[in-house]
Structure 1
């Protein structure tokens, strides 16, 4: 089972470079709240945002894919469905951005103190996930998958260019 960030109150997540996290104020992504996938720049770094709907999200490192939970009884079939979707038609190119290094995925409206506290406190439900990426340019592609009639996930994968 994956570790899920259990829905954002503000309908957006940000993939924040770890070295920029101490300066994160929680208002940086305000201009992209209505976008499903977007990017912004901070201190010369690209920051990926996922938003528009307050869906739970997880990071799947091996397929370099963010999955957002639209509806499902559980996530037991998620990874096989994501792997099956890798060759599916229908992936939409959204944007390209430069990524690399250590990141934290968290609710974009949370301030640095709350995000850092969540990373330190393993006893509480996760409010942030660590993501590590090889340096390079990535194309972000989106696809909605329906592994069965009662299950739907929204995927955003990072494709090295």
Structure 2
């Protein structure tokens, strides 16, 4: 089972470069949070944002995919659904951005202190996930998958260009 972030009250997540995290104030993504997938440029870094609905999110490192939980009893079929969707038609190109290095995925409105505390406190439900990406240009594509009638996930995959 994946580790899910589901504590957002603001319906937006940001993929924050670790080097920018100590100065993150929680307002940086305010202008781009209405879109399901968007990006902003801050201090020479592209920052991917996932927003529009307060859906739980997880990171699947092997297929380079973010999954958002629309509805499901559990996530047992998630990984097989993501792999099956890999060659499916219907992926929508959303944007292209430069990524690479160590990141933290967290609610975009959380301040640095809260995110850093979450990363260090394994006793509490996670509010942040670590993400590591090889440097390069990535195309972000979105797809909604329905592995069965009672299950739906929204996927955003990163395709190296």
TM bin, normalised by shorter chain, reads over 0.9
TM-score by length of 2: 0.99
* Structure 2 counterpart of 1:55: 55
Structure 1: gaps spanning 5 or more residues: none
TM-score by length of 1: 0.99
Give yes or no for contact 1:7–1:57 (8 Å, CA) kept in 2. Answer: no
Distance, in Å, in 1 between the alignment partners of 2:53 and 2:7 is 9
1:153 equivalent to 2:147? Answer no
Give yes or no for contact 1:7–1:55 (8 Å, CA) kept in 2. Answer: no
Runs of 4+ in 1 over 2 A off after TM superposition: none
Aligned length: 161
**Equivalent residues in 2 for 1:89-100 (5 A)?**
89-100=89-100
* Structure 1 counterpart of 2:107: 107
Q: Over residues 109-133 of structure 1, what are the superposed CA-to-partner deviations in whole Å (9 max), with x where a residue is unaligned? A: 0000000000000000000000000
Q: Over residues 45-87 of structure 1, what are the superposed CA-to-partner deviations in whole Å (9 max), with x where a residue is unaligned? A: 0000000000000000000000000000000000000000000
Q: CA RMSD in A?
A: 0.5
Distance, in Å, in 1 between the alignment partners of 2:136 and 2:50 is 20
Distance, in Å, in 1 between the alignment partners of 2:70 and 2:8 is 13
